[in-house]
Homo-oligomer: A and B are copies of this chain.
Amino acid sequence: MALPNPDPTAYGSGGALAGDVLGAYLRAQATAFLRALRLHGEAAGSAPAGGAAAGAAEAARGLRGAARRIAGSLATFRAATDTAWADGLRGELDWVSSVLAEEHASAALPARLLDALHRLSGSPERPGAAAGGSGAGPGRPTSGPTGLATGPGGLAAGPARAAALLERQLAPARARAHAAALQALGSSRFHAVADAVAVLASEVPPAPAAARGRAADVLLPLAEVPRARLAAAVAALPPAAQAPGYDAAQDGSLQEVRRLLRLHRYAREALGEDVARLAEAGGVLARHGDAAEAAAASAAAARTPRIAPATAYALGVLHADQRHEAEAARRAFHRIWHPAPAPV
């Protein structure tokens, strides 16, 4: 798919100087970082209503994305930068984006689980008064859309109890990550990062002689490195058809592919390419990661001692549902990736 062989003539930026192309991308991302930082400050300063929280989350997403893009470009195109400067800034931006990513993930996980429980137990729009179906046979109790809805035997409270259990287990991590993010963004260390990004937004970054070569000669070969690493990681995945059903063993490999895909995507973005399909593949891998983590959290919650059978049953349904979502995302990634022959 989106891994064509490089063709210098295809890039409008190919004839420009490497330093100019990279500098323009870094400046644009630095500007995006500063804008997101301002929005984040405004959202944090306003009343803690739902809208403000959503605004803060959106601003944090913008900060995270810009930090990752700057750090990724500095990594990929390190040879076209002042390496001491680039390595220092990259390390700090990696710290910022990891703190923000942890805050995001720790809030998204319980939200995803509670949403799924709500869906599985039947929302008001989907009445739970479903017939058991002709296959259920006589005398079998009917179940709702999912077997999580009202039914005899005390299972009705299962989803609510599972939701309460998950909320109880995941809330501390979410609160910790939120506090850590607030503390990080208020720290002098972060202010130094923001200062460095502000300089990047307005000044030409320090650059070695290499940056004065043509972009096609300097940046394109460097951008081949993340492409090759990504291609190797994807090639090492088992084929989609080879792992029917569940396979949590692949979760780690797919998340490594996700990380490499992000680096590759940012490198192509810096070169001015269309990265829509890379973004689509990345979105599918994000969905895979979120679902796999939710499935693991559901299984972990089911190991809580002395929970009610109804709670455990609901967690089992939830676990399988999320594993299915993870597997569907894995298959979707293979469908996006494999229609065209792999790069040579």
Q: Which residues of A does B touch, CB under 8 Å?
A: 119-120, 130-137, 140-147, 151-155, 245-252, 255-256, 289-290, 292-293, 295-300, 302-321, 323-324
List of B residues within 8 angstroms of A313 by Cβ: 302, 312-313, 315-316, 319
The distance in angstroms between the C-alpha atoms of A87 and B309, with both chains bound, is 51
Sample of 30 A–B contacts (CB below 8 Å): A132-B248, A132-B251, A133-B248, A134-B255, A134-B256, A135-B289, A135-B292, A136-B251, A136-B292, A136-B296, A140-B297, A144-B248, A145-B245, A145-B246, A145-B247, A146-B323, A147-B295, A147-B296, A147-B319, A153-B304, A154-B303, A309-B311, A310-B312, A311-B312, A312-B312, A313-B316, A316-B316, A316-B318, A316-B320, A319-B320
The distance in angstroms between the C-alpha atoms of A250 and B133, with both chains bound, is: 7
Given the complex of chains A and B, what is the CA–CA distance between A317 and B320 in angstroms? 5
Give the number of times this chain occurs in the complex, counting copies: 2
Smallest Cβ-Cβ distance to A131: which chain B residue: B252
Interface centre among A134, A144, A147, A324 (most CB of B within 10 A): A147
Measured in the bound complex, the distance between the Cα atoms of B136 and A132 in whole Å is 36
Contacts of A316 in B (CB 8 A): 147, 312-320
Check if B296 sits within 8 Å of A119, measured CB to CB: no
Contacting residues, chain B, for A321 (C-beta < 8 A): 320, 324
A133 near B251 with CB under 8 A, answer yes
Q: Given A146-B320, A313-B315, A319-B317 in contact, is the A302-B155 Cβ separation under 8 Å?
A: yes
Which chain B residue lies CB-closest to A299? B147
Q: Flag if A140 contacts B317 (CB, 8 Å).
A: no
Q: Which residue of B lies closest to A145 (CB)?
A: B246
Q: CA separation between A236 and B318, bound complex, in Å?
A: 31
Is the CB–CB distance between B303 and A246 below 8 Å? no
Contact of A119 among B119, B133, B142, B245 (CB under 8 A): B245
Contact partner of A145 among B141, B248, B309, CB < 8 A? B248
Using A300-B141, A309-B312, A316-B319 as known contacts, say yes or no to A292 and B133 having CB atoms under 8 A apart.
yes
Most chain B C-beta atoms within 10 Å of own C-beta, residue among A245, A252, A310, A320 = A320
| Bound CA span A187–B143, Å | 38
Q: Given B152, B310, B317, which contacts A317 in the complex, CB threshold below 8 Å?
A: B317
Smallest CB separation, A171 vs chain B (Å): 15
Question: When the two chains form their complex, are residues B153 and A252 in contact, meaning their CB atoms are under 8 A apart?
Answer: no
In the bound assembly, the distance between CA atoms of A246 and B318 in angstroms comes to 13
Whether the Cβ atoms of B120 and A246 lie closer than 8 Å is yes
Per CB-CB distance, the 6 closest pairs between chain A and chain B, nearest first, are A316-B316, A133-B251, A153-B303, A147-B299, A320-B320, A309-B312
Q: Which residues of B contact A119 (CB under 8 A)?
A: 245
Residues of chain B within 8 A of A140, CB atoms compared: 296-297, 300
Smallest Cβ-Cβ distance to A314: which chain B residue: B316
Q: Do B248 and A131 touch (CB < 8 A)?
A: yes
Check A131/B249 contact, CB under 8 A, given A147-B319, A293-B137, A313-B312.
yes
In the bound complex, what is the Cα–Cα distance between A245 and B308 (angstroms)?
26
Bound form: Cα–Cα A153–B297 in Å: 14
